[in-house]
Structure 1
Amino acid sequence: MKKLPTKKKKINLLTIGFTQKTAQDFFELLTKNKVKKVIDVRLNNVSQLAGFTKKQDFPYFLEKIAQIEYLHELDLAPTQSILTEYKKNKGDWSIYEQKFLQLMKERRIETKLSPELLDNTCLLCSEAKPHHCHRRLVVEYLQHHWGNINLVHL
C-alpha cells in the first residue's frame, strides 16, 4: 500500500505591538488568544517609553497576570544600523524591508527556531500596527520557509 505524505501541523503564531494599548487591553488580548509564550523581537527593550513592557518588569507581569513565558530573541531584531537608518534618518520602508529580510536570511532563523517552539507564541514589538513592523516580516519569512503558519495580528 502506498504511504500518503503527512500534512504539516499548522502552528498558531501571533504578533502584537504594545503602543496605543493599555496594559489591561494588552494582557486581555494575550489571554483571550491563549498565548503561551511572548517572544520579544525588539532590539531595545529597556527604554522608559516601553512602559509596562520594559525588560526588568515585563517577564514578571506576563507570568503573574497571564502565566505566559517570556523570551527576548535578538536574532529576530534588526541591527542598530538598520533601525537607525529607517527611524532616525526617515528611511524608505521598502529598503528597510529588503535589509531586514536579508538579515533574517543571513541569520538563518528558520533553522534556529522550530515550529513547535513558536506554536501559540506571540511576537512582541512596539509598533501599534504590523504593516511597517519587522515582526510581520519575521512571520512572513518563516511562512515562506515552513509553510504551516496560521498568523494572527493582535
Structure 2
Amino acid sequence: MELVKNRQKVLLKVIQGLQNKGISSRRAIVKALFLLKEEYFAGNSVKFYSFYPYKQGPFSQLCFSDLRKLNAEGMINDSENMLTDKGIKTANEMDILEADIHHLLGRFNNEKEMLDYVYSKYPSYTVKSQLVSHKKEQEIGFCTIGYEGKDIDSFLNVLIQNKISMVIDVRNNAFSMNFCFIGKKLKQYLNDAEIDYIHMPELGVESEDRANLNSKEDYEKLFLKYRQSLPLKQKYLDTIEKEGNNKRIALLCFEKDVSSCHRREIAKHIRNKGHEVLDL
C-alpha cells in the first residue's frame, strides 16, 4: 500500500511517538489522534479522522480500518499497536505534524494520564463509555438527517450527541457508494453504538422518479407526487409517530440538504400532527 493519505502518515508518527515512550495501546493511539484534532487542529491541514463516543471514549472506525491496512502491509504488528522495522523506516522518512505530535505526547507520562485528561476535558465523548457510570434517560422526539458528505464516525457522533436511539432509514434502496452506509453494515455500526435501525423502503422514492431532476421545479413536482402518495402509506407514518413518542428517532436519507430530500415531506406530516422535528 502506498501511503498516499496524510492521515495514515500521521497515524504512523503517532504510533512511533507512543512506542518511543513505551506505550503500546490502540486506545492510546486513538486518544492521541483525537487530541491532535481537538487541540492541535490537525483537521485544518490534513483530511483527518472523525470521532464519536464509544465504549472507551472517543473512537474512530476509520482509524481502526487504517490500522488493519497498515498491518496487512507489514508496517505494524498483529496487535496493531507497534511499528515493525518496515514501519519505523517509513515513519522516519516523514515529518508530517511531527512537532505537534512531539508536544502532545510530551504532556503525558503514560496512557492513564492521557485517558484521564480526555475524560475530564471532553465529557460529551464519555456518554457511551464502559469506564464511566451514567444515568441513562430516554429522550423522545423526531429528527431528520442526511449522510451526504459525512464519514461513519462523524455521522455517529451527530446521532449520539443529539441522543438519537433509533434511525429509520427511508431510502427506497439501502445502498450507498460509501460501504459504511449500506443497510446491513450501517445497522451493524448503529447497533454497536446502541442505536436501533429500521429500514422502511415503503417510504422511499422509486429510482425512476429521481431521474432527470435538474431544476427546483423538477424537485417540487417530485415532492408533490410523493406528498400525494402519503395517505396510502399511513401505517408506516403511524409507526414513525409511535416510535418518536417513545424514543428520539432520526429519519435517514442521503441528501445533506433536507429541502432536496423527500424526508422533508415526512417531516411536514409529523409537524402537522403537532410534533417538533429537528433537521440535523
- Deviations 1:22-60, CA, capped at 9 Å, x for gaps: 22211010001110100000012123x143110121111
TM (norm. structure 2) is 0.45
- Deviations 1:132-154, CA, capped at 9 Å, x for gaps: 1011111102222x22x221111
Residue identity matched to 2:265: L
Give distance in 2, aligned partners of 1:82 and 1:90: 15
Q: Report how many residues are paired.
A: 139
The answer to whether 1:39 aligns with 2:153 is no
CA distance change for structure 1 residues 22 and 153 in 2, over 3 Å: closer, same or farther? same
- Which of 198, 203, 206 does residue 79 from structure 1 map onto? 206
Alignment partner, residue 25 of structure 2: none
Deviation at 1:116, TM superposition (A): 3.0
- Give unpaired runs (5+ residues) of structure 2: 1-139
Alignment partner, residue 20 of structure 1: 149
Query: Which stretch shifts more, 108-117 or 49-58?
Result: 108-117
**2:255 counterpart SS class:** coil
**2:184 counterpart SS class:** coil
Deviation at 1:110, TM superposition (A): 6.8
Alignment partner, residue 127 of structure 1: 255
The answer to whether 1:55 aligns with 2:180 is no
The answer to whether 1:102 aligns with 2:228 is yes
Give distance in 2, aligned partners of 1:131 and 1:111: 19
- Larger RCO (alpha carbons 8 Å, 6+ apart): 1
Residue identity matched to 2:254: S
Give distance in 1, aligned partners of 2:263 and 2:146: 9
CA distance change for structure 1 residues 75 and 143 in 2, over 3 Å: closer, same or farther? farther
Give distance in 1, aligned partners of 2:269 and 2:148: 24
Deviation at 1:91, TM superposition (A): 6.9
Residues 213, 219 of structure 2: 8 Å contact kept: yes
| Higher share of residues assigned helix | 2
**1:108 counterpart SS class:** helix
TM (norm. structure 1) is 0.79
Residues 179, 185 of structure 2: 8 Å contact kept: no
- Deviations 1:61-115, CA, capped at 9 Å, x for gaps: 0011x2000000122212333223537x997111011001011123225764252
Q: Between Structure 1 and Structure 2, whose CA radius of gyration is higher? A: 2
Give distance in 2, aligned partners of 1:27 and 1:104: 29
- Give unpaired runs (5+ residues) of structure 1: 1-10
Alignment partner, residue 8 of structure 1: none
Query: Which stretch shifts more, 76-85 or 123-132?
Result: 76-85
Residue identity matched to 2:141: N
Residue identity matched to 1:94: E
**1:57 counterpart SS class:** helix
